[in-house]
Structure 1
Amino acid sequence: MGRYVYDMIENASATSNVDWVLFGDDERYPMSAPANMQGRSEIFPFRGDRFQLWEQLGLPQRAKALKVDLLHCTEGTLPLWQPVPTVVTLHDTLAWEEHDNDAWSRFYWNQLMPRALARCAAVITISDCSRRDILARWPSLEPKLTVIPHGINAAYLDEAATPTKSELQLQLRDHPYLVYLGGPLPRKRFDWALKVLQALNIPNLHLVACGFGAAARPAAEVLVPASLRDRVCFAPFLADDHLLALYRGASAVLYPTLYEGFGFPAIEAQAAGTPAIFSDLGSLAELVGPLADIVPPTDLAAWVAAVKRALELGEERLPKAAAARLWASRFSWARSSQDHVRVYERVSER
């Protein structure tokens, strides 16, 4: 979410005359705003957590007081009270399938949010797959629904870029390694990545697991079989430069997720010149490029074979990497930002 807001604003600020106000709810966490942003941050407390009074009363009240022309709620939820024209980015519909089953959650997701969506001025989503899922639930949203894919960092498209290796990558020395991205969520399937590594039975092949914060790491470490513990590394938070270097040095990226509204790793890996192994489920079917190896989600032999193909690419990887960078250039933050501003302009004109 942070990457989406930051990169969208940074690129929009370079090409359009928009004054931004970034709203936040916790003074302990200052906003990270692009240096070229014209505007300011407004971090203010309000009784109730972000998904209750702050979002439903505090946020629209502050937007009205500041007389903003438009409020853009970027994380998939929005207030029912909309005193100014309101746009929402609905990344996917997972929250309606995975929310808690207590009375408040049922009311919030199944009654409050659909009413708020019906009132808003525009809905942005990030893939054709998410668009289909949204319209299957709320067909009436079609006239105000726009698909705007995310972009990727421009450094991924620059063959001459020389990213810095992280300490973890340096510790791997010359060992070949795979990268898993996704963290602990069950649908991301870290356990499947471990099964693939174990089935490969290549003694010096390592796995770097990304997306596990300090709280999630102990439970993930328990899943690692004793035979793999010296070959599975958990990466700390990686800056963009370190992540690009990690991608480029990998033999392949394992992305066994069962559903994504938009799969950054599938694009980033290919743009970095690295084979990405995943199943074409949901929006991932829209991300099949020159370095994608598509396999059935539960066919372990197919996953093992795909990794072996990646390990044996040799000199064939270079032309595929060039083709993948060209393919990935369609996922541009500059283009995405321009499309966002067009939505803002349409709403403001109305």
Structure 2
Amino acid sequence: MRIAIDARAYGWTGIGRYIRSLLAQFAQLPKRHTYIVLTGDSTAAQVASDLPDRTQFPIQIVSDSYYSWQEQTIFFGQLLRTKADLFHFTHFNVPLLFNRPFVVTVHDTTRFVFPGQKQQSLWQQLAYETVFAHAVGSAKHVIAASTSTARELTRLPLTVAPTTVIHEAVDDRFSAELTELAKTKAHMLLGTNDPYVLYVGVWMSHKNLERLLAAFAFVSQEHPDLKLAMTGKPRRGYDNILNTAQRLGIADRVIFLGFVPEELLPALYAGARCFTLPSLFEGFGLPALEAAAAGVPVVTSNVSSLPEVMGKGAHYVNPESVDSIARGISRVIDDREYRLRLVAAGQQRAQQFAWRVTAQRHLRVYEQATNT
């Protein structure tokens, strides 16, 4: 079977990691299929380096513009010229006129739950909902990143194709022994020897970062040397985290790391006193699982997909309560025995999520979609 994989987001974090991990596993499995990798000019060289077998992984350069007229016209035309038995759209961005057999992955339904978190017009929101509805309604099959996401799909006023839940997974590098060089680079990135609480993710409203900062302000009163290290950077229309930190009087205790290269993440996780992801909503919550694999205690929310993913491997808090978040962080930092138990439970939980299994389940969906 010839399967076209939408890899326009190959270089991204999040969805990009999903695409890269999936294709890497396909390369390790028996060579039963050909995977046409649809990617842009900017990532073609990286794809060619990661997947050198051009017979099994031919590369097709396409327009990699998302949420645009180019996607609906130029990319659409390129898809029509692609000789494939099935298309896998790794995000919901499927051109509206595309009607060849495809499956689509839905990572979350955040934009429906938090539609106003970014400056956008009513037309933009309607366009988003129209494209999303076409993707989940016209697909041969929908892949949902979690049971929580699949459940949220059923609550939307949309027609949804048959859906299979396939969890994402954790790369082995997050549990591998760290090199001294990796530790040194992470230390240089942090610029301090002080202990730190870590957050990894974007600065969007559903990430609940204003409450995280407020909770950290309380925790830091008892732990004056403790820092909060945050990846990500300001984006127009999203939460202004820099101003919030200044208003709370903790700007000097927050380390804004910006974009962190993937190769530094394992050491950054491993060096943290705890990892926190107090989101109001998640489709999966991969950073929490990665932190657990790295041997770091996880403090996360008791809502959406996070209990499903983390099981007994995390300390849960009420994301709408600053006090609950603060008490969770404090307990993990102060109670050594509890912290060690949480680390062991988190590592055990992370071992249950393997990319090889995830890839095999994708192949079963592909085969099911082409047999219907």
Please indicate, yes or no, whether the TM-score normalized by the shorter chain is above 0.5.
Answer: yes
Which position in structure 1 is the counterpart of 2:242? Answer: 221
1:50 and 1:308 map into 2 onto residues whose CA distance is: 41
Which position in structure 2 is the counterpart of 1:183? Answer: 202
2:300 and 2:122 map into 1 onto residues whose CA distance is: 34
2:290 aligned to 243, 262, 268, which one?
268
Q: Alpha-carbon deviation of 1:115?
A: 3.7
Q: Any idea what SS the aligned residue of 2:255 has? A: strand
Amino acid at match of 2:111: A
Q: Alpha-carbon deviation of 1:40?
A: 3.0
- Residue 241 in 1 paired to residue 251 in 2? no
1:257 and 1:62 map into 2 onto residues whose CA distance is: 38
Task: Tell whether the 8 Å contact from 1:157 to 1:329 is kept in structure 2 after alignment.
Answer: no
- Residue 124 in 1 paired to residue 146 in 2? no
Task: Tell whether the 8 Å contact from 1:80 to 1:113 is kept in structure 2 after alignment.
Answer: no
2:151 and 2:174 map into 1 onto residues whose CA distance is: 29
Q: Any idea what SS the aligned residue of 1:235 has? A: strand
1:187 and 1:110 map into 2 onto residues whose CA distance is: 19
Task: Tell whether the 8 Å contact from 2:99 to 2:138 is kept in structure 1 after alignment.
Answer: no
Aligned counterparts, 1:66-85, within 5 A = 66-85=82-101
**Unaligned ranges ≥5, structure 1:** none
Q: Alpha-carbon deviation of 1:295?
A: 1.3
Q: Alpha-carbon deviation of 1:92?
A: 1.8
Q: Any idea what SS the aligned residue of 2:108 has? A: coil
Change (3 A) 1:235 1:295: same
Q: Alpha-carbon deviation of 1:289?
A: 3.9
Which position in structure 1 is the counterpart of 2:58? Answer: 40
1:12 and 1:321 map into 2 onto residues whose CA distance is: 31
Which position in structure 2 is the counterpart of 1:314? Answer: 336
Between 1:81-90 and 1:196-205, the stretch displaced more is 81-90
Q: Alpha-carbon deviation of 1:306?
A: 1.9
Amino acid at match of 1:207: L
Which position in structure 2 is the counterpart of 1:10? Answer: 24
Task: Tell whether the 8 Å contact from 1:10 to 1:36 is kept in structure 2 after alignment.
Answer: no
1:234 and 1:206 map into 2 onto residues whose CA distance is: 10
Amino acid at match of 2:232: G
**Unaligned ranges ≥5, structure 2:** 1-14
Between 1:54-63 and 1:260-269, the stretch displaced more is 54-63
Task: Tell whether the 8 Å contact from 1:80 to 1:119 is kept in structure 2 after alignment.
Answer: no
Q: Alpha-carbon deviation of 1:132?
A: 0.6
Between 1:210-219 and 1:178-187, the stretch displaced more is 210-219
When normalised by structure 2's length, the TM-score is: 0.82
- How large is the RMSD of aligned CA atoms in angstroms? 2.8
Which position in structure 1 is the counterpart of 2:122? Answer: 102
Q: Alpha-carbon deviation of 1:316?
A: 5.7
Change (3 A) 1:7 1:36: farther
2:186 and 2:235 map into 1 onto residues whose CA distance is: 16
1:214 and 1:330 map into 2 onto residues whose CA distance is: 35
Which position in structure 2 is the counterpart of 1:207? Answer: 228
- Residue 330 in 1 paired to residue 352 in 2? yes
For residues 165-216 of structure 1, give each alpha carbon's deviation from its aligned partner in whole angstroms, at most 9, with x where no partner exists: 3645345543111012233212212222221221121211111011226879
Q: Alpha-carbon deviation of 1:155?
A: 1.8
Which position in structure 2 is the counterpart of 1:153? Answer: 171
Amino acid at match of 1:147: V
Change (3 A) 1:16 1:213: farther
For residues 110-151 of structure 1, give each alpha carbon's deviation from its aligned partner in whole angstroms, at most 9, with x where no partner exists: 445424432221111100011011112257535x21111111
When normalised by structure 1's length, the TM-score is: 0.87
2:135 and 2:301 map into 1 onto residues whose CA distance is: 34
Task: Tell whether the 8 Å contact from 1:73 to 1:88 is kept in structure 2 after alignment.
Answer: yes
Task: Tell whether the 8 Å contact from 1:157 to 1:271 is kept in structure 2 after alignment.
Answer: yes
Which position in structure 1 is the counterpart of 2:6? Answer: none
Aligned pair count? 344
1:88 and 1:207 map into 2 onto residues whose CA distance is: 37
Q: Any idea what SS the aligned residue of 1:238 has? A: coil
Q: Any runs of at least 4 consecutive aligned residues in structure 1 with deviations exceeding 6 A, and if so which?
A: 214-218
Change (3 A) 1:8 1:138: farther
% identical aligned pairs: 26
Change (3 A) 1:186 1:116: closer
Amino acid at match of 1:231: R
Aligned counterparts, 1:281-292, within 5 A = 281-292=303-314
Task: Tell whether the 8 Å contact from 1:91 to 1:130 is kept in structure 2 after alignment.
Answer: yes
2:241 and 2:342 map into 1 onto residues whose CA distance is: 34
Aligned counterparts, 1:13-32, within 5 A = 13-17=27-31, 18-24=33-39, 27-28=41-42, 30=44, 32=46
Q: Alpha-carbon deviation of 1:257?
A: 1.0
Change (3 A) 1:275 1:289: farther
For residues 312-332 of structure 1, give each alpha carbon's deviation from its aligned partner in whole angstroms, at most 9, with x where no partner exists: 343664554344222211211
Task: Tell whether the 8 Å contact from 2:35 to 2:57 is kept in structure 1 after alignment.
Answer: yes
Change (3 A) 1:217 1:73: closer
Task: Tell whether the 8 Å contact from 1:157 to 1:328 is kept in structure 2 after alignment.
Answer: no
Amino acid at match of 1:146: T
Amino acid at match of 2:367: E
